[in-house]
């Protein structure tokens, strides 16, 4: 019984999944914090590519 508990405690098979979930959570948090800056940056790039004003992208689609 004791050995099985020790093996279970030292098992690291799911460690990669936990790390990926934590990294993804941090990236989503950063994206939410800088959401307006990111929308503005993308709108400026698209306006330069298309040669026009792309105000629809600057507005948050959720708030419309």
If one compares 3 and 56, the residue with the highest pLDDT of the two is 3
pTM: 0.52
Q: Is residue 23 part of a domain?
A: no
* pLDDT tens readout for residues 6-61: 777 777 676 788 888 999 999 999 999 998 888 888 878 887 887 766 665 555 55
Q: Is residue 39 part of a domain?
A: yes
Considering its fold, how many domains does the chain have in total? 1
Structural domain harbouring 48: 34-64
Q: Is residue 15 part of a domain?
A: no
Q: Are 43 and 54 in contact (CB under 8 A)?
A: yes
Q: Is residue 28 part of a domain?
A: no
- The per-residue pLDDT for 2 is 74
Q: How many CA atoms lie within 13 A of 46 on its CB side?
A: 12
- The per-residue pLDDT for 25 is 96
Q: Is residue 3 part of a domain?
A: no
């Amino acid at each position: 019984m004791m050995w099985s508990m020790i093996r279970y405690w030292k098992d690291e098979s799911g460690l990669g999944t936990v790390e990926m979930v934590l990294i993804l959570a941090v990236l989503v948090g950063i994206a939410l914090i800088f959401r307006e800056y990111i929308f503005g940056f993308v709108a400026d790039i698209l306006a330069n590519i298309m040669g026009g004003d792309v105000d629809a992208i600057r507005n948050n689609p959720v708030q419309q």
